[in-house]
């Protein structure tokens, strides 16, 4: 069974965005969840560290610079142009 840990770096980023009021209160999960194509496009022009900032959870034991390492995307909760 997989185990998970908290990505403290993203928690800090999420707090900054909340304090700056950059969030969406109501949305449909299926409409706002980044698709694999969106994530791939983001990774083409950003670093893995920048990608990691969008995930509250980390899969323990998964390789660091892989998408399976990242869980619980905050991109679905934040109003930002970074995924665009």
User: Does pTM top 0.85 for this prediction?
Assistant: no
More confident residue, 46 or 69: 46
Give the tens place of pLDDT for each residue, 22-48. Answer: 877 777 777 777 788 888 888 899 988
Q: Are 76 and 21 in contact (CB under 8 A)?
A: no
Q: What is the DSSP string of 59-70?
A: ETTS-TTSGGGE
């Amino acid at each position: 069974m997989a185990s998970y840990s908290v990505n403290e770096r993203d928690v800090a980023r999420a707090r900054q965005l909340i304090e700056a009021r950059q969030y969406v209160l109501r949305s449909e999960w299926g409409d706002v969840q980044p698709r694999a194509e969106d994530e791939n496009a983001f990774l083409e022009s950003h670093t893995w560290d920048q990608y990691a900032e969008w995930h509250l959870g980390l899969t323990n034991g998964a390789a660091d610079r892989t998408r399976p390492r990242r869980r619980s995307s905050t991109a679905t909760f934040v109003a930002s142009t970074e995924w665009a």
